[in-house]
């Protein structure tokens, strides 16, 4: 991570992003528009001159309708090969990727810093998020109606709408995040 809150991502992320975009026949401008990010930002990601935030990676993955791991992990690589990704409040470490015929499941170890709200863009249609809190109190879920979970509790929501992550109180939250992406 750098001091600015962005992730130091493998330069191959940009190459995977470009290949996915081109395979779908989507222009740089069209993908930037549908992801809600600047064309210069997207170009910088593809060329490896920009380090993306977690929010940017999810916006692009959602617009391409692929799981985050399609961008941050090379096919066949173990989950530990993926770099941690960091957003405004969340730092996520990929623990495992599970593939089933109808869905991909991504399991993350997640830390949420206090005092900051992270706004996460909508994921692809049908994506759900499931969080189990181990320490602290988490407020997360749809931006209009976030849920609260304490240590030992679980919450889940449809993540194909904008959603948020924040702590309740001054303590960091430690949790597991499971993202289910239908194929």
pLDDT value for 9: 54
Average pLDDT score over the chain: 90
pLDDT value for 50: 83
Q: Give the three-class secondary structure for 130.
A: strand
pLDDT value for 67: 87
pLDDT value for 84: 85
pLDDT single digits (tens) 65-103: 888 888 888 888 998 888 888 889 999 999 999 999 999
pLDDT value for 136: 98
**How far is the C-alpha of 141 from the C-alpha of 154, rounded, in Å?**
12
pLDDT single digits (tens) 124-134: 899 999 999 99
Long-range contacts of 73-79 (CB under 8 A, 24+ apart): 73/97, 74/12, 74/16
Give 3-state DSSP helix, strand, coil % of the chain, rounded to 5: 25, 35, 40
Would you give per-residue pLDDT tens digits along the chain (183 residues)? 333 344 455 678 888 999 999 999 999 999 999 999 999 999 998 988 888 888 888 889 888 988 888 888 888 899 888 888 888 999 999 999 999 999 999 999 999 999 999 999 888 899 999 999 999 999 999 999 999 999 999 999 999 999 999 999 999 999 999 999 998
């Amino acid at each position: 991570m750098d001091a600015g809150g962005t992730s130091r991502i493998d330069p191959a992320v940009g190459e995977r992003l470009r290949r996915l975009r081109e395979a779908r026949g989507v222009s740089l401008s069209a993908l930037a528009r549908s992801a809600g990010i600047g064309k210069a930002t997207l170009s910088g990601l593809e060329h490896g001159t920009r380090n993306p935030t977690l929010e940017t990676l999810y916006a692009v993955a959602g617009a391409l309708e692929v799981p985050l791991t399609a961008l941050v992990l090379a096919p066949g690589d173990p989950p530990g090969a993926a770099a941690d990704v960091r957003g405004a409040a969340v730092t996520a470490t990929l623990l495992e990727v599970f593939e089933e015929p109808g869905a991909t499941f991504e399991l993350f170890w997640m830390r949420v810093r206090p005092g900051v709200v992270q706004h996460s863009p909508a994921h692809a249609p049908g994506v759900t998020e499931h969080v189990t809190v181990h320490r602290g109190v988490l407020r997360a879920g749809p931006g209009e109606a976030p849920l609260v979970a304490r240590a030992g509790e679980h919450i889940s929501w449809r993540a194909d709408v904008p959603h948020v992550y924040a702590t309740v109180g001054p303590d960091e939250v430690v949790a597991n995040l499971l993202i289910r992406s239908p194929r």
